[in-house]
Amino acid sequence: MVVDPAGRILAVNPAAERLLGRAAAETRGKDAHELLHRDTDGGTLLREQCPLLRSLAEGAAARGEGDRYLRGDGRLVTISWSASPLTDGGSSKGMVVLFTDITGDRSARRERAAYTSALEDLNERLTLVAEITEVLGQTLETDEALARLCRLLVPRLADWAAVDLRTGSGQVHRVAVTGPAGRDAGLEGGRERLPEPGEAERSPLVQVLNEGDPVLQNEQDETETAAPPGSPLAAVHGDFLRTVHATSAITVPLGAKRQVTGALTLVRTDPAHPFDTEDLEVVSDIGRRVGLVIDNARRFGRQRAVAEAMQRNLLAPLPQPGRLRLAARYQPAPAGSQVGGDWYDAFELKDGTLALVIGDVVGHDLTAAAGMAQLHGILRALVWDHTGSPGAVVDRLDDAMPAITTVPMATLVLARVEGHPHTGPWTLRWTSAGHPPPLLLTPGGHARYLEAGQGLVLGAPLVTGTGRPNATQSLPPGSTLLLYTDGLVESPGSDLGTGLDRLRRHALTLAHAPLDTLCDQLLARMPPGSTDDVALLAMRLPTL
């Protein structure tokens, strides 16, 4: 379209005729603004509000999008336009206006926007599922896993979350409730019997726990709140939904149909944002993943209990030869970590000499604990009547280990305390198979590590014809000897040297404390974050 300096139409091309539904003769000489330009309701705009007239008056190029033009048949079209001035010898002759119908484009943009929004929503849900999978995989403790789950779900997907778990006695325990302000202890707890399948019960929670099918409830649906509950469990769940003012809820099984370990309930309280079937699919997927984590955690817990029981049963009572005093501690790895293969031992040999052992089998599982039991028994048998050096005994153990144990590698310290148990003098003879050095505390406030006698770990190939080194150290009256495993001195983010310095410093401050207190306090002062178990064996000589 070409307009003169006053805005009158001089010419239109055939495309403009078709778009506007007007013949060229009909438009020629007419005021373009009055003939064509309209507001969103079809009314005429003030001339001062017309961007095309403004650009015409200024003689400057301009463009716009979303303006409404009136067709000859009375319909409005939405256009995108650009205008360039026409000049001749420096004087303005009008404007050339190019325009196109974007009514269809706007509809397409709305569709694209809706599609993009749907993709973003799907991506957010998939990201949430991925985060939940990653976070749950970082722990084997059920309570911690469920706490992390609820923190991820509220408020990203729901306003409230509740978790119910089956117990071994056929009951259901509400173990977690999380809302906008975090965990709400007032809505937790309580154990109710789960009705048997087939009993008349309309509660979604009961249906999910018995049948394993997820349930979506919205305000318009007939829910358990519309009829008296058929069981105490249904009453608890109905009270929860009413208390939090639920307008939409999803209840899904934790686990698969044939092995439902519990149920997850998510609640929204805004009527304008109810759950939909896509939400149901996402939450159902989350429920399956959480069920696997709970099942694995329970299996791990059973294995851990067996391993701990085996370890503790193998840690025999300590002897108290003469005036020598012994104390020991075994501390399992923190919750969520696997059981290790640490152990200690102390016993009198056939000739009356006291033997001390501290050891650590490589690995952190039931196999490591079983390997520890094998080494424990074999070493006792080898050292019982052997009057030679500790290094010779450990050489024999190293030779026998591949044939009669499943242990691939281990560290240990084997020591003999020689001297009269009442009067002394006492001498320590020992060998170390790649184990952290013993710590000796002597009267006068001195502490040093006994770093001599170090040899290769058990299971490493030895040079033919060479025996393990031995070391000897006199033990002053009133001194204290500490044997320990690496869990006492190693912690994430810290090097071994720092851990050894920390142990020496703490041991010196506790050197005059009773032996049991010394052991307890050394464990209590361990830095947080350790994932290893710890064995500790302490011996104190009398003061003459």
* 175 pLDDT tier (thresholds 50, 70, 90): confident
**Predicted confidence (pLDDT) per residue in 88-135, tens digit:** 877 888 999 999 888 766 665 666 666 666 666 666 666 777 777 676
Residues 6+ apart with CB under 8 A from 522: 482, 488, 503, 506, 507, 510, 536
CA distance linking residue 248 with residue 269, whole number of Å: 7
CA distance linking residue 328 with residue 518, whole number of Å: 10
> For the residues of 482-515, what is the DSSP string, one character each?
EEE-GGGT--TT--HHHHHHHHHHHHHHTTTS-H
Q: How large is the greatest C-alpha to C-alpha distance in the chain, in angstroms?
A: 130
Residues 6+ apart with CB under 8 A from 107: none
pLDDT number for residue 224: 45
Superfamily of domain 121-298, CATH level 4: GAF domain (3.30.450.40)
CA distance linking residue 312 with residue 85, whole number of Å: 95
**CATH architecture, domain defined by 315-540:** 4-Layer Sandwich (3.60)
* 198: pLDDT strictly greater than 70: no
* 1: pLDDT strictly greater than 60: yes
**CATH architecture, domain defined by 2-101:** 2-Layer Sandwich (3.30)
H/E segment holding residue 147: helix 142-153
Alpha helices in 319-431 (DSSP H): 366-383, 390-404
* 250 pLDDT tier (thresholds 50, 70, 90): very high
pLDDT number for residue 303: 64
**Predicted confidence (pLDDT) per residue in 393-415, tens digit:** 999 999 988 888 888 899 999 99
pLDDT number for residue 288: 85
pLDDT number for residue 397: 93
* 336: pLDDT strictly greater than 50: no
Mean pLDDT of 493-520: 93
Percent of all residues in the chain with a pLDDT value above 90, rounded to a whole number = 38
Residues 6+ apart with CB under 8 A from 333: 339, 340, 364, 487, 530, 531, 532, 533
In this chain, the answer to whether the domains covering 2-101 and 121-298 adopt an identical fold is: yes
- Burial of 76 from C-beta contacts in 10 A (0-12 / 13-18 / 19+): middle
**Predicted confidence (pLDDT) per residue in 111-123, tens digit:** 666 666 666 666 6
Nearest one of 153, 135, 133 to 144, comparing CA atoms = 135
CA distance linking residue 181 with residue 154, whole number of Å: 9
pLDDT number for residue 417: 96
* 208: pLDDT strictly greater than 90: no
pLDDT number for residue 144: 73
The tokens for 55 are 């650009």
- The pTM of this model reads 0.53
Please state the φ and ψ torsions of residue 529, each to the nearest 5 degrees: 100, -5
**Predicted confidence (pLDDT) per residue in 38-79, tens digit:** 988 888 888 888 988 998 988 888 888 888 999 999 999 988
On whether the CB atoms of residues 1 and 9 are closer than 8 A, the answer is: yes
CA distance linking residue 407 with residue 369, whole number of Å: 10
CA distance linking residue 8 with residue 175, whole number of Å: 78
pLDDT number for residue 338: 53
> For the residues of 43-89, what is the DSSP string, one character each?
PBPPGGG-HHHHHHHHT--EEEEEEEEE-TTS-EEEEEEEEEEEEET
* 504: pLDDT strictly greater than 90: yes
pLDDT number for residue 260: 84
H/E segment holding residue 179: strand 171-179
* 510: pLDDT strictly greater than 90: yes
| Domain ranges, ordered by start, for the chain | 2-101, 121-298, 315-540
pLDDT number for residue 490: 87
pLDDT number for residue 136: 64
- Burial of 170 from C-beta contacts in 10 A (0-12 / 13-18 / 19+): exposed
* 222 pLDDT tier (thresholds 50, 70, 90): very low
* 418 pLDDT tier (thresholds 50, 70, 90): very high
On whether the CB atoms of residues 140 and 296 are closer than 8 A, the answer is: yes
Give the CA-trace dihedral at 33, 39, 44, 45, to 10 degrees.
Answer: -70
Identify which has the larger pLDDT, 419 or 336: 419
Residue length of the chain: 544
On whether the CB atoms of residues 361 and 311 are closer than 8 A, the answer is: no
On whether the CB atoms of residues 170 and 178 are closer than 8 A, the answer is: no
CA distance linking residue 258 with residue 273, whole number of Å: 33
Three-state DSSP state, 216: strand
pLDDT number for residue 494: 81
On whether the CB atoms of residues 65 and 80 are closer than 8 A, the answer is: yes
- Burial of 30 from C-beta contacts in 10 A (0-12 / 13-18 / 19+): middle
Residue type present at position 172: V
- Average pLDDT along the chain: 84
On whether the CB atoms of residues 505 and 522 are closer than 8 A, the answer is: no
